[in-house]
Structure 1
Amino acid sequence: MATGFKHTVLLVDDAPENIELIGGLLSLHYRVKVASSGERALKMLSSGDPPDLILLDVVMPGISGWDVCRAIKAQPHLQHIPVIFLTARADMKDEREGLELGAVDYITKPISPPILMARVATHVQLKQARDLLRDNNAYLTAEVKRRTAEISALQDVTVVALASLAETRDNETGNHIRRTQLYIEALVTALRPHPKFADFLTEDEAAIIVRAAPLHDIGKVGIPDRILLKPGRLDPDEFEIMKTHTRLGHDALVRAEQAMPFKSRFLREARDIALSHHERWDGKGYPDGLAGDRIPVSARLMAVADVYDALISKRCYKEAMPQSTALEIIAQGAGTHFDPDIAAAFLSISDKAARIAATFVDP
């Protein structure tokens, strides 16, 4: 026992002679609290620091030791305290009932002092070990959560930095990557209850898609300046080169995925978005002419977000459209350009999309 520190034992017994005997034995090594009834014991346990162990008589006036034990084990902040029953009942049935209620031991009266002291010491030490293990587990859980949050934050910063590489090459996109990410966040929230998407858009999967969204145009780093920065519409040959940004982004992310020792759901969604966000629901998009449900869900989400943002943004070759006009185009494109359910969901969050656009407006 550590010098200067004593574990606390709560003795619950209505017989003064038992209190005197047991209390006297325990007080040599422990701080002893006494309750002469079950009601008094529960009142003491409801306030102040809980004891390290409870010695509990079974037969007492008022509520029995069984009921006191049930009440203790029903309370989360008390249920970890070991309970040892003290009783004159020596029947095996009574002992089994006490243990089934959650007691750790069962000592019959008359008390044998050596047995009492040995069992109390054993269960106090076991509780101390359990408390230490629980504290360590709580610390480790908190530490894992903290480090996971740090890694997640680092990944988010890295994603934004990589996406910004493409953005700096096309100085007209401004806050495009942030706006489209927030459109998608609002979209997946609206779509998660939808029967068509509920199984796929789990909370984890939705969060991954939102985090991967900024990488949709990462392939633009491979497009020549003469095309990427052309102050006007592209001619057909130039547009064919521009379309390769989808494949360039996809291939770069695939190489990153192959370099990892495990499968990455994040990189899977990122490469799907980069490759397929210009596919159309009717199969007339690029680069692979995918149609309908063959287009990854994440890419279908980005298709709507990307087109909407392009429509309401000013470009060197066009003025920004009013939101009402942009929403009409989204509605008209449902079932041809866009997944009709995703287009409908976007229209339902149009007010939120407008607030996002206004908050992250280009300089």
Structure 2
Amino acid sequence: MTDAALPTILIVDDSPENLTVLSELLQPEYRVRAATSGEKALRVVATPPRPDIILLDVMMPGIDGYEVFSRLRSDERTSDIPVIFVTAMDSTDAEIHGLDVGAVDYIAKPIVPPILRARVRTQLELKQARDWLRNQNSYLEGELLRRMKENLLVQDVSIHALAHLAEIRDPETGNHLRRTQGYVRALANRLRHHPKFAHFLTDHIIEQLFKSAPLHDIGKVGIPDHILLKPGKLTPEEWTIMKTHAKLGSDAIEYAERDVDRPVEFLVLAKDIAHYHHERWDGTGYPDGLAGDDIPISARLMALADVFDALISPRVYKPPMTFQEARDIILAGRGSHFDPDVTDAFSQAYDEFREIAKRYTETEKVSLG
């Protein structure tokens, strides 16, 4: 074994004779470094090669062994180096104190060579085992993080794939999914410190809302083409069928939930958004006619985001409105169509809504007036 591959032992003792004796006992099995004071020991530890174990004399002038040990433990770069106290104090109390402060072993002078070698070997083997476990844990943590990121990516891709099933059925919607995601997050960020919303709109929930928002119209997959793609106004009968997309969407997500053994948070949010985003604050919406705070917060946010985007987007049956026209309609719906607090948040975030709409216009001619 080359010298560089040998375990490194730092011996700290104010007696040159003791350093010589200990060095001769441990070489050539180990690479030995030496320091004749606590101050020098701390400087040596800070330079490579880093010791694998330290034999530390307790009784030294200046900084004694206990102080050196305390400083080693307070520095994260040296806190895990095992320390064996080596001292002429052979009382039981001194040994107990040394072990209590955190030393891995305590050897009394005069040194018995076989005992010294055996204890050093044992502590080095324990350190190697701890290092191996630490490396394994670091690897496993890294692997877990990698797989979690991979799972989140698969989740995001799956969400968008499902959402695009509905979007493909209605090709005029373009970047509607991305815009409404952005609108929902903008509203949530404005309301996160509001007394009525702070308990719900945590960082985590806002991120989950952003992810689940694209599933709001997944139920349109179940609407017949002659209704979904009709270029003119729907008849009352056709409108009744069109309105079923809200429950169709929540039912589809609920079926997906049944395949897992515990609730999936973003699916719970997505189900509420899909089911209730056409409810109105005054209770005149659909499918359940909920009113006020009975409507889930997630759906209240999506209700405004969805209407705003529909207003500024072209459809076969209408041209796009200007941003100002859409803004006026949203504000006019405060307290009737929309939650008043959500509407106020929209008013504050109006410029951000405009920026989001402009950012995702490459497949639609959104009016920028």
TM-score, normalised by the number of residues in structure 2:
0.93
Structure 2 distance, partners of 1:336, 1:16, is: 89
CA gap 1:304/1:92 in 2 versus in 1, 3 angstroms:
farther
Q: What residue number does 1:234 align with?
A: 234
AA at the equivalent of 1:144: L
Structure 1 unmatched ranges of 5 or more: none
SS of residue matched to 2:217? helix
Q: Where do residues 307-318 of structure 1 align in structure 2 (5 Å cutoff)?
A: 307-318=307-318
Q: What residue number does 1:50 align with?
A: 50
Q: What residue number does 2:118 align with?
A: 118
AA at the equivalent of 2:317: Y
Q: What residue number does 1:193 align with?
A: 193
How far off is 1:344 after superposition? 2.0
AA at the equivalent of 2:135: D
For the pair 1:22 / 2:22, whether they are aligned, the reply is: yes
SS of residue matched to 1:111? coil
Deviations 1:71-98 (A, max 9, x none): 1111112111111111122334433333
SS of residue matched to 2:106? strand
How far off is 1:270 after superposition? 1.3
Q: What residue number does 1:245 align with?
A: 245
Deviations 1:159-191 (A, max 9, x none): 111111111111111000111112222232333
AA at the equivalent of 1:60: M
CA gap 1:39/1:173 in 2 versus in 1, 3 angstroms:
same
AA at the equivalent of 1:293: D
CA gap 1:91/1:304 in 2 versus in 1, 3 angstroms:
farther
Which stretch of structure 1 is more off in the superposition, 80-89 or 317-326? Answer: 317-326
Structure 2 distance, partners of 1:194, 1:126, is: 54
Structure 2 distance, partners of 1:254, 1:332, is: 34
How far off is 1:253 after superposition? 1.0
SS of residue matched to 1:55? strand
Q: What residue number does 1:68 align with?
A: 68
Which stretch of structure 1 is more off in the superposition, 13-22 or 1-10? Answer: 1-10
Give the ranges of 4+ consecutive aligned residues of structure 1 lying more than 4 Å apart after TM superposition.
1-4
TM-score, normalised by the number of residues in structure 1:
0.95
How far off is 1:155 after superposition? 1.2
CA gap 1:192/1:47 in 2 versus in 1, 3 angstroms:
farther
How far off is 1:229 after superposition? 0.8
Q: What residue number does 2:153 align with?
A: 153
AA at the equivalent of 2:14: D
SS of residue matched to 1:62? coil
Q: Where do residues 87-236 of structure 1 align in structure 2 (5 Å cutoff)?
A: 87-236=87-236
Which stretch of structure 1 is more off in the superposition, 186-195 or 285-294? Answer: 186-195
Structure 2 distance, partners of 1:144, 1:343, is: 41
Structure 1 distance, partners of 2:217, 2:2, is: 64
How far off is 1:200 after superposition? 2.0
Q: What residue number does 1:290 align with?
A: 290
Structure 2 distance, partners of 1:48, 1:10, is: 11
For the pair 1:279 / 2:275, whether they are aligned, the reply is: no
Q: What residue number does 1:13 align with?
A: 13
On the 8 A contact 2:179/2:309 being kept in 1, the answer is yes
Structure 1 distance, partners of 2:176, 2:189, is: 20
Deviations 1:43-93 (A, max 9, x none): 122232421111111121221111111111111121111111111223344
CA gap 1:208/1:35 in 2 versus in 1, 3 angstroms:
same
How far off is 1:272 after superposition? 1.0
Structure 2 distance, partners of 1:169, 1:16, is: 87
Q: What residue number does 1:337 align with?
A: 337
SS of residue matched to 2:278? coil
Structure 1 distance, partners of 2:132, 2:277, is: 52
How far off is 1:110 after superposition? 1.5
How far off is 1:115 after superposition? 1.6
How far off is 1:251 after superposition? 0.9
Structure 1 distance, partners of 2:49, 2:349, is: 52
How far off is 1:41 after superposition? 1.2
CA gap 1:31/1:170 in 2 versus in 1, 3 angstroms:
same
Structure 1 distance, partners of 2:96, 2:285, is: 73
Structure 2 distance, partners of 1:136, 1:191, is: 43
Structure 2 unmatched ranges of 5 or more: 365-369
Which stretch of structure 1 is more off in the superposition, 13-22 or 318-327? Answer: 318-327
Deviations 1:249-281 (A, max 9, x none): 111111111122332222211111110011112
SS of residue matched to 1:172? helix
SS of residue matched to 2:172? coil
How far off is 1:4 after superposition? 7.9
AA at the equivalent of 1:233: K
How far off is 1:339 after superposition? 2.0
How far off is 1:220 after superposition? 0.4
How far off is 1:202 after superposition? 2.6
SS of residue matched to 1:123? helix
Structure 2 distance, partners of 1:220, 1:353, is: 25
Please give the root-mean-square deviation of Cα atoms over the aligned residues, in Å: 1.8
